[in-house]
Copies of this chain bind each other. A is one copy, B any other.
């Protein structure tokens, strides 16, 4: 889908900042952190705008978050099937310890897991750390 189409489908205004950030996600192999976006965007986008755009994109179901253990949040494009408020991204995420890229393994679904009595699951994330296919040489 085109940048503008994605924004319009989500009911968002089409602005330069949003198109530029979306462009970055389209072009990127792996997931992006706030800092990546601030550094690599073609035009200059204010730090605050980046924060707000990422938040808007998450809420609109355009991108999803990937938890990490380094005080950053990673973001990656959602499938078209994701919608505002209701994400459908239960695939596994792979963080390469060598190149440090994070991949969405779109074809690997997060397996169900049986929880103790009383725990009611809503959403499950699975993050695998290891060596990615590009780094195994």
Q: How many angstroms from the CA of A68 to the CA of B70 in the assembled complex?
A: 9
User: Number of A interface residues, CB 8 Å?
Assistant: 39
Contact A65 B69 (CB under 8 A): yes
Determine how close the nearest CB of chain B comes to the CB of A121; give it in whole angstroms: 4
Residues from chain B with Cβ under 8 Å of A66 in the complex? 69
Contact A118 B132 (CB under 8 A): yes
Q: How many angstroms from the CA of A111 to the CA of B72 in the assembled complex?
A: 26
Residues from chain B with Cβ under 8 Å of A107 in the complex? 116
Determine how close the nearest CB of chain B comes to the CB of A104; give it in whole angstroms: 12
Determine how close the nearest CB of chain B comes to the CB of A51; give it in whole angstroms: 11
Name A residues whose Cβ lies closer than 8 Å to a Cβ of B.
65-73, 92, 94, 97, 105, 107-108, 110-111, 113-133, 136
Enumerate 30 A-B pairs (CB-CB under 8 Å) in ascending A order: A66-B69, A67-B67, A67-B69, A70-B73, A71-B72, A71-B73, A92-B115, A94-B119, A97-B122, A105-B115, A105-B116, A108-B114, A108-B115, A110-B113, A110-B126, A111-B113, A113-B128, A115-B128, A116-B133, A118-B136, A119-B131, A121-B129, A123-B129, A123-B130, A124-B126, A124-B129, A125-B127, A125-B128, A126-B126, A127-B127
